[in-house]
Amino acid sequence: DAKTTQPDSMESTEGETVHLPCSHATISGNEYIYWYRQVPLQGPEYVTHGLQQNTTNSMAFLAIASDRKSSTLILPHVSLRDAAVYHCILRLIASSSFSKLVFGQGTSLSVVP
């Protein structure tokens, strides 16, 4: 399974734009890049995903490098509610068309007022 590498932790201030990096140097052509986040005592929450093109939604902007070996989740104007562990994961597509999510340790983002 292809793996991802993220910093263990990052800190930001309310209102800032945060860039969360993820390295996936061995990603294969049929793997999507997913981002989930998790706060204590809750299950992970889907943030966004992409394949090659940058994507944007109400939560975040996902920038994917042209060689797909890295990506950056960009959170504009973070608030205290954005403090969470952010997981960058790759979606593996098995022969049966079922795909599982392989989670790593993630980046713990703390936000201070």
Partner 1 sequence: GGIITQTPKFLIGQEGQKLTLKCQQNFNHDTMYWYRQDSGKGLRLIYYSITENDLQKGDLSEGYDASREKKSSFSLTVTSAQKNEMAVFLCASRLGPNYAEQFFGPGTRLTVL
Q: Which of 54, 79, 105, 110 binds partner 1 (CB under 8 A)?
A: 105
Distance CA 2, CA 102 (A): 9
Region 40-69 residues binding partner 1, contact defined as CB under 8 A:
41-46, 49
Does position 73 interact with partner 1 (CB under 8 A)? The reply is no
Q: Which of 106, 107, 109, 111 binds partner 1 (CB under 8 A)?
A: 106
Please, which residue, 41 or 113, has the CB nearer to partner 1? 41
Distance CA 107, CA 95 (A): 31
Please, which residue, 10 or 16, has the CB nearer to partner 1? 10
DSSP letter, residue 53: S
Give least dist CB 33 to partner 1, A: 11
- State the sign of the Cα–Cα–Cα–Cα dihedral 69, 87, 107, 17: positive
Strand partners, 64: 71
